[in-house]
Structure 1
Amino acid sequence: MRPAPLPRILIIYTGGTFGMNVSPSRSGARLSVPRLSPQSLARDFRKQVPELAQIANCEVSVLMNRDSAHLGPPEWCKIADRIRSTWKNYRGVVILHGTDTLAYTASALSFLLRPCLKPVVLTGAQRPLSALRNDARRNLVSAVEIASAGPRPLANQVSVFFDDELLQGNRVHKRSATDYHAFESPHIEALALVGTEIRYRSAKPFPRSSHAPVLIPQFNPKVALIHVTPGFPAKAYSAHLLEHLEGIVLNVFPSGTAPTHDPEFVKFLRTARRRKLPVIVVTEGGSNADPNTYEAGRALLDEGCIWAGDMTTECCFVKASLLLGQPHAQRDFEKLWKIRFAGEAG
């Protein structure tokens, strides 16, 4: 009796530390971007990660080879198009991605690939596969195994695998540039933990609206993510920035507060409201604070700001940009914002 054929997995390479070359220098190891083809990358995998052949029939696509700092909405749509056009041919998809903007890409794909019909697992590395000591190999092996054999419907979503944790893609935040434990999901438990075996949580899909409208893959480039600081230069923002924007994501202090004692800050919010610019308020690190606790938070709501709840800053920015890219976006924004499209908020 012949053994069952191995599942087919598509590995999409986009760049990042994972595939970089390491060269020593007087100031320490330096990383450089090599020229890669699907053939050369597949050859590297066979040589350095031979156990992949025991898990799945992996096909490699080098979609791009860029530092993740150079990826944005056009690349998010390109990745989504590549997956959507071919995913019927595969059991699952693994995306190799740089870590700095991985949380943004994961959030974007969670909206662009609704409904997610197959596992889409993003992973990367803090040390490249070519380094003697690295996290690239084990991240890739586990990501491919999860995409191949993870329980449905739990696995049928956009997720992030890093350092033995499988996390919901639109609920992750990068916490470190040096630790192997690079990502965290502050307000939702891991989908799976990897040790001597892979321990999945109960296969319950995340809550989402069954009546959510279809979103076209178009992001508004006039949405700004602004961090509130003590001494916030509200007057300068009002005078020189607001006229060029169509939406604001305001990253406020962890308790959901902002310098609402400052008349110029209040004027900044009122000017935005008069211009019909949505102002979405998110806390540093998505702290899930209650803005009604303090007067400095309640004042934000009184001025018409929209509360993001426990969403991550990355997902909040992506969702705002996508919703404001839709037809009649400004008119329908508050209604659309309340919809949980992909389990992005608790």
Structure 2
Amino acid sequence: MRILIIGTGGTIASARTEKGYKAKLTAGEILELAGISGNGVKIETRDILNLDSTLIQPEDWVTIGKAVFESLGDYDGIVITHGTDTLAYTSSALSFMLRHVPIPVVLTGSMLPITESNSDAPRNLKTALTFAMKGFPGIYVAFMDKIMLGTRVSKVHSLGLNAFQSINYPDIAYVKDEEVVVRHRPELPEGEPSFDPRIDPNVVHIRLTPGLSPEVFLAVAEKAHGVVLEGYGAGGIPYRGRNLFEAVSRVAGEKPVVMTTQALYGGVDLTRYEVGRRALEAGVIPAGDMTKEATLVKLMYVLGHTKDVEEVRRIMGRNLAGELSSAF
């Protein structure tokens, strides 16, 4: 059995400098410091980036995806070490770009650098490697003994070790010592492995707040090819006092406007309230129970393939990589 670890930087690869922690260690150095042996499994490492994940850009998703795709035939599992700040965006992007992967591709990281004595890096890396050796095809995230589907993960804590949760979807598995306890098997589409890196990163994410003016919304949305509007609760657009509804309607007639929610769980249901039904009538596309990260990245991916608003609506309503519970 052969496992590949792809290094991209992040806290897990960081060490102290005069200006704070900085990603500087190689994947091989991380593996050595973690004290993990292959136990008969051949583990190889490859470094393609070494960045604080705050610096990760959509072009880097393509670089990572290409490295994974080119390695699929040579390894039984792939682990990607990554910073936590944008890990959920990268796991979503890889899930849309890399379709029908025949082996486990597992992203992991840590909240404390591997160079610190109390680091969670060895624990998370061991979890990722253990799962990667078990042969479950798909894109996953490993953190604090949990295995989560790549399109369902959000970072929910900025400092705590249990920083990631699976949103609106069960955890896939738990890893205890060398044992993988499977809790849920995702039903992912089958087919030949493919890599489709076409994305349009010109998407803006706007958070709905009391007092948001139509003029500001229009100015921000003007040059974007698509808008993700993060609304309240089940979703809706205010029209009292400041008629944001009119501004959103104008934009939605020209380009896709997708509504997600500020609530962590439950998702969007624009049929529930009058303000939500108005949004539907205006042409707003509901995000269903997708995470905010998956919603943004999926819209980038879809816009990389079409700019037709109705076609975007159709594809956003389809479950492509486990990101959506019910098609609409």
Per the alignment, residue 97 of structure 1 pairs with: 82
Per the alignment, residue 236 of structure 1 pairs with: 216
| Separation in structure 2 between the aligned mates of residue 55 and residue 251 of structure 1, nearest angstrom | 48
1:128 paired with 2:113, answer: yes
| Separation in structure 1 between the aligned mates of residue 239 and residue 301 of structure 2, nearest angstrom | 28
Q: 1:12 to 1:230 in 2, by over 3 A?
A: same
- Three-state SS of the structure 2 residue aligned to 1:244 is coil
Per the alignment, residue 138 of structure 1 pairs with: 123
Q: Runs (4+) of structure 1 moved beyond 6 Å?
A: none
Range 296-305 or range 280-289, more displaced: 280-289
Per the alignment, residue 62 of structure 1 pairs with: 47
Per the alignment, residue 183 of structure 2 pairs with: 201
Structure 1 residue 251: Cα displacement: 0.6
Per the alignment, residue 256 of structure 1 pairs with: 235
Structure 1 residue 104: Cα displacement: 0.2
Structure 1 residue 328: Cα displacement: 5.1
Per the alignment, residue 98 of structure 2 pairs with: 113
| Separation in structure 2 between the aligned mates of residue 64 and residue 215 of structure 1, nearest angstrom | 19
| Separation in structure 1 between the aligned mates of residue 273 and residue 61 of structure 2, nearest angstrom | 38
| Separation in structure 1 between the aligned mates of residue 211 and residue 54 of structure 2, nearest angstrom | 29
Structure 1 residue 263: Cα displacement: 5.2
Q: How does 1:159-174 map to 2 (within 5 A)?
A: 159-174=140-155
Structure 1 residue 216: Cα displacement: 3.7
| Separation in structure 1 between the aligned mates of residue 311 and residue 30 of structure 2, nearest angstrom | 49
| Separation in structure 1 between the aligned mates of residue 39 and residue 48 of structure 2, nearest angstrom | 25
Per the alignment, residue 4 of structure 1 pairs with: none
| Separation in structure 2 between the aligned mates of residue 264 and residue 333 of structure 1, nearest angstrom | 26
Given candidates 250, 273, 297, the residue that maps to 1:271 is 250
1:283 paired with 2:261, answer: yes
Per the alignment, residue 49 of structure 1 pairs with: 34
Q: How does 1:174-193 map to 2 (within 5 A)?
A: 174-193=155-174
| Separation in structure 1 between the aligned mates of residue 313 and residue 272 of structure 2, nearest angstrom | 23
CA-based RMSD = 2.2
| Separation in structure 2 between the aligned mates of residue 215 and residue 263 of structure 1, nearest angstrom | 44
Whether contact under 8 Å (1:52, 1:141) holds in the other structure is: no
- Three-state SS of the structure 1 residue aligned to 2:313 is helix
Q: How many residues align?
A: 322
- Three-state SS of the structure 2 residue aligned to 1:290 is coil
| Separation in structure 1 between the aligned mates of residue 188 and residue 76 of structure 2, nearest angstrom | 24
Whether contact under 8 Å (1:15, 1:65) holds in the other structure is: yes
Matching residue's letter, 2:258: I
Whether contact under 8 Å (1:55, 1:144) holds in the other structure is: no
Query: By percentage of residues, which structure has more strand?
Result: 2
- Give ranges in structure 2 of 5+ residues lacking alignment: none
Matching residue's letter, 1:115: H
Whether contact under 8 Å (1:216, 1:326) holds in the other structure is: no
Structure 1 residue 198: Cα displacement: 2.3
Whether contact under 8 Å (2:66, 2:195) holds in the other structure is: no
Whether contact under 8 Å (1:235, 1:264) holds in the other structure is: no
| Separation in structure 2 between the aligned mates of residue 308 and residue 342 of structure 1, nearest angstrom | 14
CA deviation string 1:238-258 (max 9, x = no partner): 2x2333121111110123233
Q: 1:199 to 1:21 in 2, by over 3 A?
A: same
Matching residue's letter, 1:45: L
Whether contact under 8 Å (2:252, 2:283) holds in the other structure is: yes
- Three-state SS of the structure 2 residue aligned to 1:268 is helix
Matching residue's letter, 2:187: F
- Three-state SS of the structure 2 residue aligned to 1:241 is helix
Whether contact under 8 Å (1:8, 1:57) holds in the other structure is: yes
Q: 1:82 to 1:234 in 2, by over 3 A?
A: same
Per the alignment, residue 289 of structure 2 pairs with: 310
1:31 paired with 2:48, answer: no
Per the alignment, residue 79 of structure 1 pairs with: 64
Larger radius of gyration: 1
Matching residue's letter, 2:21: L
| Separation in structure 1 between the aligned mates of residue 159 and residue 128 of structure 2, nearest angstrom | 20
| Separation in structure 1 between the aligned mates of residue 113 and residue 127 of structure 2, nearest angstrom | 16
Whether contact under 8 Å (2:268, 2:287) holds in the other structure is: no
Q: 1:305 to 1:181 in 2, by over 3 A?
A: same
Whether contact under 8 Å (1:260, 1:299) holds in the other structure is: no
Whether contact under 8 Å (1:324, 1:330) holds in the other structure is: no
